[in-house]
Amino acid sequence: EPFLYKLVPTLVEIYGEEYAELIQRQRIIENTIFAEEKLFLNTLEIGLEHIEHLLQSYSRKGEKIFSGKDLFKLYGTYGFPFELTKELLTEKGYECDEEGFLQELEKDRNQSRETWKGKKLAVFLDPNLIPTTPTEFLGYLHLTSKSKIVGILDLEKPKQILKAGEKGILILKETPFYAESGGQIGDTGYIKTNTSVFQVLDTQKENDIYLHIGVVLSGEFQTGIEVIAEVEEQRRKLLTYHHSGTHLLHAALRRTLGTHVTQKASLVSHEYLRFDFSHPNPLQMEEILKIEEDVNNAISARVGVTTNIYDLETAKKTGALYFFEEKYGDKVRVVQMGEFSSEFCGGCHVSNTKEIEYFLIRKESSPGAGNRRIEALCGPKVIEYFQEEFQEIGYQIGEINSKLKEFFNNNEHFITVNLPNPKQIQQTFEEKGSKAVFEFRKLKQNLEMILDEKKNFLHQVKKQKESKLAQDLLSNQNILIEKIEKIGKFLFLSHNVENIKIEIVKELGDSLKNKFANIFFVVHVKNKDNAILFMAGKEAISHGLNCNELMKKTLPIVEGKGGGKIDMAQGSAKKIENFQQLLEALKRELQEK
């Protein structure tokens, strides 16, 4: 049965002070782990059944080598871990065709790399089924256009009609929808008639045929009818901000780090941009700030963005950046942003750098050896980022202040700072433009430093208090010893403690066990879980005492749960007001033994 999720409270107890989000999300973490364990146990159950069936077949044939295909079937179809399959088969005297398994695995990976587009290519490129005339793209200049449906797919085969509620693909004669390419994700929006609406959830393309993937919300669509195609405007704007921001970032990286920097991969979405580039070392904060400032200067310069179509050789002579590994056609589109950037690109861009408004690097990391990755935000997404960050910082300050008040019973050590509210952040950006990026970044860093200092201070003070409590608890054992009761063959002691780590109580229990081998020690630790601890000495165990069994038998009295070993068990109580009844039940158990 699932058990890993039960470790979460202990994890929170140990690390909760350092990682407050563990406390905030404890229930979510437990539920997630529990769900994963249940799913895995189900996978094991199904996998074991199939292994048994296969073994029966191998036994009948007298074969002792498990084929790569069967090994992969267990892994690929039923999700059964290869290592576990190998272990089980080895125990039963079978060999595993590991090389065959790896070949099947690689074959599957290659197939997975081929999306549905490749699989359906023969269908929608068959001239007898769907016209193969390239779709005319109008999206550089227009976000809405009239068009005509020249083909319909239901994700499996061509159709003549697509009805309400059905998913499918519409192919238009011309379209304003940008199809995913060059790192920029596909447009979304609507294709409409007077009586019907098709929601476009993604746009892809194969051989310049644009595929509008989505679902019919109302009415129906047939091949040959006239439609209105409408791109989701705000989303497209965000895409252009992030695509133009990517070009400015690429150029700024080369100016700051050197011309060895080249693009390795990129993602342009309406939420953020991601840019992978060749560079051997992690970026220093000074470099990040310089790159960020470079891009924001280009935005503030309000430079016009021009696009020109050249033949390939002429385009190369313009000095525009291009990628040797890319395949270009006879005609190439060059996107230029004044002196700041010039690149080969077929994507959608702003008409002036001022439209990007603001640029922020939110993360720098490595996707693999020799390369670095930057995630960045443009336009309104930068404002949203700081609004969310300061809201989170405000929440953390409130949590720390609450703990400080609880600890010191006053507000002497409170963090007292004026946090900008969402409206103030918005106003500052409107007034100062991209300069607000640096201002809010510095404020955020300062606040995070103050938070860390206070967390460390609170941690140290708590450790000192816990150390004193531990010393007091361990040094005042004589007072506890006076409370010991003799019940049959056992010495019985119960105790209540507040705001102390369970590990300290265990130390006390070990000390008592060394002094009294026949002791049975019960402790209630008053914390958010109302922890219960049972401990027994060696002699008590020899007389038949078992902490684990006692806990499972008596903890239901306090609506608790727990368990452990023969000499120590730990649990928690929901109905701690019944603790006295628990003690009485334990005494009866001791008397009976």
Instruction: Give the pLDDT score at 297.
Output: 96
| Lowest-confidence region among 18-32, 235-249, 300-314, 431-445 | 18-32
For 59-96, what is each residue's pLDDT tens digit? 888 888 989 888 888 887 667 888 888 888 888 888 98
Mean pLDDT of 396-417: 86
Question: 492: Cβ–Cβ under 8 A, 6 or more apart, which residues?
Answer: 484, 485, 486, 519, 520, 522, 586, 587, 590
What is the DSSP code string of 60-83?
A: HHT--EE-HHHHHHHHHTT---HH
* 112 has pLDDT over 60: no
Which tens digits make up the pLDDT trace of 533-566?
999 999 999 999 999 999 999 999 999 989 899 9
pLDDT (average), residues 113-126: 49
Mean pLDDT of 15-32: 82
pLDDT computed for residue 196 by the predictor: 93
Q: What is the pLDDT of residue 157?
A: 73
Please tell me the predicted confidence (pLDDT) of residue 156. 63
Return d(Cα 119, Cα 489) in angstroms, integer. 77
Q: Judge whether residue 188 has pLDDT over 50.
A: yes
Q: What pLDDT does 326 receive?
A: 62
The pLDDT assigned to 109 comes to 65
The yes-or-no verdict on residue 110 having pLDDT over 70 is no
162 pLDDT more than 70? yes
Highest average pLDDT, of 41-55, 427-441, 471-485, 504-518, comes from: 427-441
- Residue 117 pLDDT > 50, yes or no? no
Confidence (pLDDT) at 91:
86
* Residue 51 in this model has a pLDDT that exceeds 60: yes
How much of the chain exceeds pLDDT 70, in percent? 94
For the record, the structure tokens of 584 come out as: 């009485």
The packing angle between helices 233-257 and 380-408, to 10°, is: 80
Q: Residue 111: which pLDDT band, with cuts at 50, 70 and 90?
A: low
Name the average pLDDT for the chain. 88
Q: Is the per-residue pLDDT at 440 higher than 50?
A: yes
pLDDT at 19: 80
Contacting residues for 474 by C-beta, under 8 A, at least 6 apart: 507, 508, 511
Q: How far apart are CA 547 and CA 521, in angstroms?
A: 10
Shortest CA distance to 142 belongs to which of 244, 250, 233, 274? Answer: 233
Average pLDDT over residues 190-213: 92
Percent of the chain having pLDDT more than 90?
54
192/186 Cα distance (integer angstroms)? 19
Position 129 confidence tier, pLDDT thresholds 50, 70, 90: low
Query: What is the 3-class SS of 284-315, one letter each residue?
Result: CHHHHHHHHHHHHHHHHCCCEEEEEEEEHHHH
Give pLDDT tens digits for 265-283.
999 999 999 999 989 889 9
Is 456's pLDDT higher than 60? yes
- pLDDT of 323 over the 50 cut: yes
For residue 532, what pLDDT band results from cuts at 50, 70 and 90? very high
Q: What is the mean pLDDT of residues 428-434?
A: 93
Check whether 260 has a pLDDT greater than 80. yes
φ, ψ for residue 331, nearest 5 deg: -110, 135
pLDDT band at 39 (very low <50, low <70, confident <90, very high): confident
Decide if pLDDT at 347 tops 90: yes
- pLDDT on residue 385: 95
At 277 the pLDDT is 93
Residue 113 has pLDDT above 60, yes or no: no
Q: What is the pLDDT of residue 160?
A: 86
pLDDT at 126: 56
Owner of token pair 């608790």: 560
Q: Which residue has the tokens 């950037």?
A: 341
Give me the mean pLDDT over the 392-418 stretch: 87
Ramachandran area for residue 426 (φ above 0: left; ψ -120 to 50: alpha; else beta)? alpha
In this structure, the number of other CB atoms found within 10 A of the CB of residue 547 comes to 25
Mean pLDDT of 500-514: 85
**CA 382 – CA 433 distance, rounded (Å):** 11
pLDDT category, 119, cuts 50, 70, 90? very low
Phi, psi of 66 (to 5 degrees): -75, 125
| Residues constituting the chain | 593
Which of 15-29, 294-308, 457-471 is predicted most confidently?
A: 294-308
CA pair distance 115, 121, nearest whole angstrom: 10
β-sheet bridge partners, residue 309: 333
Region of poorest pLDDT, from 108-117, 229-238, 456-465, 561-570: 108-117
